[in-house]
Structure 1
Amino acid sequence: MIRFVHSVLRASAFLTRLPAMPAAFAGPAVPLGRDAPAFPVVGALAAALPALVLAGLLALGLTPLAASACAVLLLVALTGALHEDGLGDTADGLFGHADRERALAIMKDSRIGTYGALALIGSLILRVAFLAAIGSASGLAAALALAAAATGSRGAMAFLWSALPSADPGGLADRVGRPSPARGRIAAAIGLALASVLTVPVSGWGALILPPALAALVGLWLRGVLVRRLGGQTGDALGACQQLTEIAWLLGLALVTR
């Protein structure tokens, strides 16, 4: 148990702006890929405060749209927009007509292009809109949905990381050590289990089926695009996976929450 707690703390230091705990890094260096099963737990931790803010603002009478916008932006701040950056770079690299090498070069460029800007705008709009739809039915359901989507999507991200080779040897996702397929499957299972525990009691059994099914479909689509265009994954592509599967998870919960 202590070992897993340290794994969560190490993963949190990489995936969020939450304070790092030096004790978790004592001893020999551990590749980040070994901590992949902790990614869903980190998602829940990062989303805890935004979820509380969302529930509180709704209880105070703020509109679901405004409360959802505040919560999503707070979550972005707590994660340092790490995954949003990946989504923007991936959209710029993959949605043009560039060949593989050119696409990888575009994804490494810190400047944002039209496709990246549109992807980021779309991501924010959809997450806020789906949360607001859930919040109009139940403030508690919306708060739990935010945490569940953050949790499940990071399990999906870890699974994709383990399932594809690096398309950019020497890149960030390659340097920190890709997780084994077994660790990727464990991460996905933990994400699904935690997300279900959070949402099924409030949103019903549909929350166990539709949200992860939609996230899986989106993840499979992205996997196919990455294999076809790049021959594997990159750190930016993993960020895009997190964003897209989070959106899909929230859509599923918006459809089953009444």
Structure 2
Amino acid sequence: MIQPVASLLRALSFLSRFPALPEAFRGGPHPLAADAPAFPVVGLIVGLLPALLLLLAMAAGLAPFIAALLALALMVASTGALHEDGLGDTADGLFGHAGKDRALAIMKDSRIGTYGLLALAFALLLRIALLAEVATASPLAAACALLAAASASRGGMGLLWSSLPSARPDGIADSLGRPTRRQGLWSLALGTASGVLLGLPTAGFGGVALAAAISAGVYLWFRSVLRRRLGGQTGDTLGACQQLLDIAILLGLALGSG
């Protein structure tokens, strides 16, 4: 199997509910970190059916909010709520005043706390509302915005993974390796390219620039928080990064499309 295709299939099987093809894992081991450049393409794949559902729901006469809700529900189902789980655990661990060891222990606990529940609720509501805002002006623009955010946010996730050491040596992210700087930059480049190409029909150059500025600010802020509080990244924080960037990109595109 051609290496880029195998890399994409491995990343897709890990970051979504899509079944894995055994041929992609032959000749292993294959640490997921090396497949980071494929993350933005995974975002496009898992976002395709939700984007189509949004268009069909709007064509059937459903309100933009309901159409956006259905689309994002399908997106969450497609990924198994992998990134949402990371956001909830990260919020539980980082909110409050717990030290590093305590924060990591909280994040490892499968139970969800108040901070995690609120973070998930607000994040999902924001994504639905922002997508519905774009859909009010143009269903096709909203479908493009969904795909742009899904791809570019996963590109940023790959960059974060490559730019910080593991905060938990025995964690899942650490066991999967760590992307090289070059792999992280490729992840960012492909995500950015997809975001720009899909964002332009949604919000034009101004909206794309606004989305890029907001998401860059969110990324740098979150990265600084992780360095200060945890000394690095974990699998949960990578998922949280994807969710935060998704919201930031949708916010910029929604503002630009208004």
Q: Distance in 1 between matches of 2:142 and 2:190?
A: 21
Superposed CA deviations along residues 174-207 of structure 1, whole A, max 9, x for unmatched, are: 0001001111011001000011111213431124
SS of 1:69's partner is helix
SS of 1:205's partner is helix
SS of 2:73's partner is helix
Query: Equivalent pairs: percent with the same residue?
Result: 60
Equivalent pairs, count: 258
Q: Offset of 1:28 from its aligned partner?
A: 2.1
Q: What is the RMSD of the two structures over their aligned residues, measured on CA atoms? A: 1.1
Contact 1:11–1:36 under 8 Å retained in 2: yes
State the AA in 2 paired with 1:62: L
- What's the counterpart of residue 158 of structure 2? 158
- What's the counterpart of residue 136 of structure 1? 136
Q: Distance in 1 between matches of 2:86 and 2:142?
A: 25
Superposed CA deviations along residues 98-140 of structure 1, whole A, max 9, x for unmatched, are: 1110000000000000000000001110000000000000000
Segments of 4+ in structure 1 off by > 4 A?
Answer: none
Q: Offset of 1:250 from its aligned partner?
A: 0.4
SS of 2:183's partner is helix
Q: Distance in 2 between matches of 1:233 and 1:19?
A: 27
Superposed CA deviations along residues 10-62 of structure 1, whole A, max 9, x for unmatched, are: 00010000121221111122111110000000011000000000011111111
State the AA in 1 paired with 2:173: A
- What's the counterpart of residue 22 of structure 1? 22
- What's the counterpart of residue 254 of structure 2? 254
State the AA in 1 paired with 2:78: L
Point out where structure 2 has 5 or more consecutive residues left out of the alignment: none
- What's the counterpart of residue 65 of structure 2? 65
- What's the counterpart of residue 235 of structure 1? 235
Point out where structure 1 has 5 or more consecutive residues left out of the alignment: none
Contact 2:144–2:201 under 8 Å retained in 1: no
Q: Distance in 1 between matches of 2:8 and 2:23?
A: 12
Contact 2:207–2:255 under 8 Å retained in 1: no
Matched, 1:7 2:7: yes
Q: Distance in 1 between matches of 2:100 and 2:24?
A: 38
Superposition map of 1:190-229 within 5 A? 190-229=190-229
Q: Distance in 2 between matches of 1:213 and 1:180?
A: 25
Superposition map of 1:158-177 within 5 A? 158-177=158-177
Q: Offset of 1:170 from its aligned partner?
A: 1.6
Q: Offset of 1:5 from its aligned partner?
A: 1.2
TM-score, normalised to structure 1, is 0.98
Q: Distance in 1 between matches of 2:28 and 2:80?
A: 27
Contact 2:208–2:256 under 8 Å retained in 1: no
TM-score, normalised to structure 2, is 0.98
